[in-house]
Amino acid sequence: MRVAVLGAGAWGTTVAGVLAQSADVALWCRRGELAEEVAATRENSRYLPGVELPDRILATPDVAVALGGASLVVLAVPLQQLRSRLAAWRPEFPDVPVVNLAKGVETATGQFGTEVVQDVLRDRQVLALSGPNLAAEIARGQPAATVVAGSDAAVATAVATAFTTPQFHAHAVTDVVGVDVAGAFKNVVALAVGMVEGAGLGANARAAVLTLGLSEMAALGGRLGARPETFLGLAGAGDLVATSTSTLSRNHRVGLALGEGLPLADAVGRAGGTAEGVATAPALLRRDADLPFVRDVVAVLAGERSPVAAVSRLLSAT
């Protein structure tokens, strides 16, 4: 089996390492110097310092080389860049299943990740991988579980099998909508939970905000046709807890900084990397206006309300 992983950030590189335990992996790197570093040192020092990458990973800056002969393609591109990247790459794409790792909502269209991929690639089987999956832990061999969601149960099962290792356990599901909703919404909740912690509002407020976020996530999913059980599973509550409570989460770190009083630009800069919740929150409101939890988070991001005032409003809405 040969897999192409397009995107060599922390999560893309981690997934390449997982897949390389049972397959040959071509890892597309946006920067040629990163591909050279991985080839020479077996390390991605910027995103995964100290993690040795398997020899079965071929790093390349040439997307045609990465896609050549692939029987599975994994997209590890930030969501807001996904459409433009795919449009450029489409002529090179083989007719094989495509797994999207990006979580969020496209600001221009209000589409979730798998919807963007399907919109551009049209006739491919598009799946989503999501769960409580902090890259730094998985890259170092710590145990984790995830779900692979696809509308075709047989394809989802085959892809989940390809991802499964003794440390990383992938489970096939068919609720693609629910997994997309959960993957996007949990980043917004992580911002809010981080605000609670940064402002020093205590464990009770943190638990309440986390629970209210899960409730609104499930309500949105229900309106879009998702299954209720998805939001109590790995892609829902599991990913929500991991992203909202770990300092490894960029969304959580941005929320912490906002809670401490930093303006948004400074909070994002301190967190480092892409915090998808910042773009996802206002995009979710454009998709569905009946999201009071999200509306309060957006007000903080826009500088219209303090984190303390936003949390007070969230708690009073119960």
Going edge to edge, which strands form the sheet with 2-6? Answer: 57-60, 24-28, 2-6, 72-75, 98-100, 126-130, 144-149, 168-173
Ligand-binding annotation for 44, yes or no, is no
Ligand-binding annotation for 11, yes or no, is yes
Ligand-binding annotation for 22, yes or no, is no
Ligand-binding annotation for 30, yes or no, is yes
The pLDDT tens digits for 254-276 are 999 999 999 999 999 998 877 89
Q: Is 186 a catalytic residue?
A: yes
Ligand-binding annotation for 100, yes or no, is no
Distance from the Cα of residue 81 to its chain's centroid: 13
Q: Are 88 and 150 in contact (CB under 8 A)?
A: no
Ligand-binding annotation for 131, yes or no, is yes
At a CB cut-off of 8 Å and minimum separation 6, what does 123 contact? 95
Ligand-binding annotation for 130, yes or no, is no
Q: How many angstroms separate the Cα of 228 from the Cα of each of 128, 130, 139, 190, 238? A: 18, 16, 31, 21, 14
- Which parts of the chain fold into alpha helices (H)? 10-19, 32-41, 63-67, 79-89, 113-121, 135-139, 153-163, 176-198, 203-223, 239-245, 250-259, 264-271, 276-287, 292-301, 307-316
User: Cα(first)–Cα(last) distance of the chain, in Å?
Assistant: 51
CA–CA gap between residue 3 and residue 230 (Å, rounded)? 27
Catalytically annotated residue among 186, 252, 295, 305? 186
Distance from the Cα of residue 312 to its chain's centroid: 28
pLDDT score for 22: 95
User: CB-hemisphere CA count at 13 Å for 176?
Assistant: 21
Closest of 287, 273, 285, 186 to residue 234, by C-alpha:
186
Pair of tokens at residue 263: 């303006």
The pLDDT tens digits for 182-238 are 999 999 999 999 999 999 999 999 999 999 999 999 999 999 999 999 999 999 999
Ligand-binding annotation for 290, yes or no, is no
Strand 126-130, strand 144-149: pairing: antiparallel
Ligand-binding annotation for 31, yes or no, is yes
User: CB-hemisphere CA count at 13 Å for 159?
Assistant: 31
Ligand-binding annotation for 151, yes or no, is no
Please give the average per-residue pLDDT across 158-162, as a whole number. 98
Tell me which amino acid residue 67 is.
L
pLDDT score for 123: 86
Distance from the Cα of residue 26 to its chain's centroid: 21
Q: What is the pTM of this model?
A: 0.94
Ligand-binding annotation for 276, yes or no, is yes
pLDDT score for 318: 60
The pLDDT tens digits for 10-62 are 999 999 999 999 999 999 999 999 999 999 999 999 999 999 999 999 999 99
| Cross-strand partners of 72 | 3
Taking the CB of residue 143, how many other CB atoms lie within 10 A of it? 11
| pLDDT of 111 higher than 90 | yes
